[in-house]
Structure 1
């Protein structure tokens, strides 16, 4: 019996020694929110980020104070993703991911945002940032009122960037604000009536966005705890609600911690382009031709497909990322594997390696396979979903 017990202890000891240790993969830090220690809380800082182009995200109990607002305000899901991811991307030029940590917005609450995003009304909503309009009018008069005073502003996205202090706590060191503006204003003259659409030029949009940005900075400076925090501002121009590609950022500027005014804007030359499209063919003929050849090769191997769809992200006229979707109907796993191998060979031989490439092979609404190749790499990564 003693030998049996002793043997059990040895097994437990050995297993304990082989057990994974998760304790060193993260660290804790105090979020310094005020001079009152009772208002500070502990957050977990992940030891690793997903890649060099990502921030380490603080894990704490403070989720975004405006959760759900963006989905109610921005109609196109692609615009939502690009607004959030693009604002982080531009923030990296101001807040280095090696020394800053990311936290969702904590100061612009849903109550604040819904007031700011509504129309201005001297009595009912003096906080409104969209133009005042008399919505009591009817029929043609209401249509003219809406056309003359469109709701330019869709959303204001806040992101917080924190940095470690000498005592190993973390404190807010920068804020990024994304101002989402419409390119098309959709409205109704009465419930049940068809929607009407008013195009908004980029020049008109930028003029309105500049005034909104000035007011937003003034209001932020009046908030407790962020009166002297640097602010990075960026303007995002949405696409139409039915667009298959998202809009893009068009301008940005930095406001120093001791400033309450917006200075000169820096133009951002970015765009998301759909292929096939006449604009894509005329503006980026080389990319268009590559996708046409790729589609032709796919069709010669597997005629039972719909069409190759490409979405390119361009910066300063250069392709930075190309996402390709191939919708196909498969009748077996072997068929899928063979097709994916063939498509991967076409990727390596037909696409330049100076931009990131992602190929999604789908069947109906199901993802079947994924091919990814990072910029500058000769080989790629292939995954077949089970």
Structure 2
């Protein structure tokens, strides 16, 4: 789950560990290492005065309408990387070893014209339960480098494989959309088989022959889901074959819960329900109050609260934001990161509140017309 970063200035309850960019140089040009806003985040790489972007950004097997998948895929992958590559010892670099054409070939179906395809060849069927679906939706590469004299040396790579839980397709161009549902067992089996091939291919690259390579499997949520997908397992590989897989117990939940649904901790659901009731009683002109929460090993990690308003007065928004800060501190779970976004369909984001896991009070920002 993506927890939005506060756009307002940090309060005294928030810690800051900023450092200035450090310049270095190499045969391929001038590099800079950005500072860190805090020790839990990676510094990035700037080359020749510009941020070094990914060579394969945005390449997917087909258009995915659930943007939450993309957000949780990227941020979740970096969280896994932090288990292996410390933010104090490694610098983050956008993927530089997989080009757009390479990733496009990998995401394609395997065929005579595309032997690199990781998705299975078509069996000719268009029946939802008989066709060979597209399992692999996207591939994300994250590089981790370290300073070596005047150079930045690649010291590790993390690869994310985003697997479809539902494959959407059309029998004819511009025709009706159909779908093939993919079971968790099949999704994980296919992902692990592809990971084995991906590791083999990466090891053929001279620069990646001996560095640790982390490969993680991500289960994409369906297009109509209100939340993004989740990582289900990962493997840290120092050799040429896949090491032991480590299972991840991650659950994404939307509050308020639907009838028949449950959360890992019922107290969290009750806390949000009380918060929602107080908020709706304060201002009647609200279109909705919802939250996305993520649990790891049954423990709440964070919560994104979204509130949609129907009023436009800046004074109302300021009063409402102040009220939200008080009620959130009173009712919502403590010791976890919580972001609250207030917006309207007409004006977009109107205010933003954020609290880190170590803070007691919320920092707030109201977006004015100036």
- Whether TM exceeds 0.5 here: the answer is yes
- Which of 261, 266, 276 is the equivalent residue of 2:246? 266
Aligned residue number for residue 154 of structure 1: 137
**Residues 60 and 104 in structure 2, CA contact (< 8 A), matched pair in contact too:** no
Report the Cα offset of residue 380 of structure 1: 1.6
Listed one character per residue, the Cα deviations across residues 321-358 of structure 1 (whole Å, up to 9, x for unaligned) are 01111111224221111111111110111123121111
- Which of 271, 292, 298 is the equivalent residue of 1:290? 271
Listed one character per residue, the Cα deviations across residues 133-188 of structure 1 (whole Å, up to 9, x for unaligned) are 134xxxxx4326x74411111111111000012x2421000000001100111111
1:243 partner SS: coil
Aligned residue number for residue 120 of structure 2: 131
Larger radius of gyration: 1
Report the Cα offset of residue 52 of structure 1: 2.2
- Which of 10, 30, 40 is the equivalent residue of 1:53? 40
Aligned residue number for residue 287 of structure 2: 306
User: Structure 1: how far apart are the matches of 2:140 and 2:208?
Assistant: 16
**Residues 234 and 253 in structure 1, CA contact (< 8 A), matched pair in contact too:** yes
User: Structure 2: how far apart are the matches of 1:176 and 1:93?
Assistant: 11
Report the Cα offset of residue 283 of structure 1: 4.3
2:76 equivalent to 1:95: no
User: Structure 2: how far apart are the matches of 1:82 and 1:131?
Assistant: 26
2:287 partner SS: coil
Structure 2 unmatched ranges of 5 or more: 1-18
2:46 partner SS: coil
User: Structure 1: how far apart are the matches of 2:179 and 2:60?
Assistant: 21
Aligned residue number for residue 25 of structure 2: 30
1:229 partner SS: coil
Report the Cα offset of residue 282 of structure 1: 5.2
Cα pair distance change 1:134/1:203, threshold 3 Å? closer
- Which of 197, 212, 217 is the equivalent residue of 2:194? 212
In terms of fraction of residues, the more helix-rich structure is: 1
Cα pair distance change 1:280/1:294, threshold 3 Å? farther
User: Structure 2: how far apart are the matches of 1:103 and 1:74?
Assistant: 25
Structure 1 unmatched ranges of 5 or more: 1-23, 32-36, 136-140
**Residues 152 and 208 in structure 1, CA contact (< 8 A), matched pair in contact too:** yes
TM-score (norm 2): 0.88
User: Structure 2: how far apart are the matches of 1:55 and 1:188?
Assistant: 41
Cα pair distance change 1:331/1:263, threshold 3 Å? closer
Listed one character per residue, the Cα deviations across residues 179-200 of structure 1 (whole Å, up to 9, x for unaligned) are 1100111111112321111111
Report the Cα offset of residue 71 of structure 1: 8.9
**Residues 74 and 155 in structure 1, CA contact (< 8 A), matched pair in contact too:** no
Which fold has the larger relative contact order, with Cα–Cα distance below 8 Å and residues 6 or more apart in sequence? 2
User: Structure 2: how far apart are the matches of 1:91 and 1:312?
Assistant: 21
- Which of 346, 349, 353 is the equivalent residue of 2:327? 346
Report the Cα offset of residue 55 of structure 1: 0.4
Q: How many residue pairs get matched?
A: 345
Report the Cα offset of residue 81 of structure 1: 1.0
